[in-house]
Amino acid sequence: MDFGGFHLLRVRGIQIIIDYSWFIVFFLVVYTMAEGYFPRTQGPLTTGQYWIMGLAAALLLFASVLLHEMAHSLVALRHGIEVKSIRLFIFGGIAQIASEPKSGKHEFLIALAGPATSMALAVFFGMVYSAMVLGGRAGPVAGIAGYLASANLILAMFNMIPGFPLDGGRILRSVLWDRWNDLTRATKVVSRIGSSFALFLIMLGLLQLFFSQNMISGLWSIFIGLFMKQAAQGSYQAVVLRESLAGTPIRQVMTERIVSVDSFLSIDELVRDYIYKHQFTHFPVFHGEELAGLVSLSQVKTVPRELWGFKQVRDIMTAIEQVPQLRPTDDAMEALNRMIAEDLGRMPVVDGGRLVGIVSRRDILNLFKIKSDLGPTG
């Protein structure tokens, strides 16, 4: 487990994570199926049978969502894009990729794979349902298959809406990207469409709350709309950030005036004379003239306060061999992605074994803000 979810399994190097919020919606789906949908659509069964059907339907529904995301991920892998994880959470699933597609064609194929998989699942479960009904074996299994056929069909159709962050938005962006040869402009268009659809969902949810008194459906529409609006805006900002920082070497961003600490320094001195004074969370550690490692605030917090005067930096630091490093020629955007992926606030910049600078997320984002304020240059 980690703070954000339960690590379920790894498939083709992709970590499958169940977010803790997923358990909430899973219970709601099981409850809705067992207490509402199946009692209304199936013949008279026992309460236990309805709950077993609800549990089976919910598990297969989320397996369908996982297959939808796996389809995206496998096509991305075929085109040389690293996929770090797939997270199932309260609104469905999302794949975390290390980089964006290299062309509109690649994005088109990756985005289309998810809805195509959902449509295939809808057809499959529809055939199972039809075969059982036509064969005179309509019952719990047929009822579950019928529900999954309609659920996957709705999932495919909803995802084809042409606005971010939905698959349809990515498909539209891929077409506009190839046509205009301008990723930022294409992203801006589909982000606006996604934001408009999100506002529609929010308004629909409010109308349901106040006029139809359908509180659950209304709240879901509002929550999904808020999520979509935030994701649409975030997608555009991410592209603008990447375009603005593309080709900028770390040497233009890094801080050359380095605040370092000695490996023999006590933790008490580290906190008093460095962390409080400079308000940094990471410090390079030197042993004499040699770069020995990196010490962080999180490592200090693992030591009981009464031992700070006895423990030294060398006792808690991360050895330099295990410290993620950057080179002066590394791309600023790739460096930012590494910091986010590895949850690092600062990284040392090393050239030929010599520490030449240190860079933080704040440094890179400050550069982006300056470029944004100045606007495009000729």
pLDDT at 309: 93
**Tokens of residue 342, six digits:** 């590895």
For residues 339 and 111, give the distance between their C-alpha atoms in angstroms, rounded to a whole number: 27
pLDDT averaged over every residue in the chain? 87
Whole-angstrom distance between the N-terminal and C-terminal Cα of the chain? Answer: 49
Q: What angle do CA 122, 128, 130 make, to 5 degrees?
A: 95
- Is 86 in contact with 19 (CB distance < 8 Å)? no
3-state secondary structure of 234: helix
pLDDT band at 90 (very low <50, low <70, confident <90, very high): low
Read off the pLDDT of residues 190-225 as tens digits, 9 standing for 90 and up: 999 999 999 999 999 988 888 876 777 788 888 888
pLDDT at 91: 64
Residue-range domains of the chain with CATH: 5-245 (no CATH), 250-374 (3.10.580.10)
**Tokens of residue 8, six digits:** 């379920």
- Residue 97, pLDDT > 80, answer no
pLDDT at 255: 86
pLDDT at 378: 45
What is the mean pLDDT of the segment spanning 3-32? 83
Query: Position 135: which residue type?
Result: G
- Residue 2, pLDDT > 60, answer no
3-state secondary structure of 1: coil
Q: What is the pTM of this model?
A: 0.74
Nearest alpha-carbon partner for 149 in 188, 123, 184, 185 = 123
Read off the pLDDT of residues 275-307 as tens digits, 9 standing for 90 and up: 999 988 889 999 988 889 999 899 999 999 999
- Residue 1, pLDDT > 60, answer no
- Is 123 in contact with 73 (CB distance < 8 Å)? no
- Residue 85, pLDDT > 50, answer yes
Give the full edge-to-edge strand order of the sheet including 83-89: 5-11, 14-19, 83-89, 92-97
Handedness of CA 93, 69, 148, 9 (dihedral sign): negative
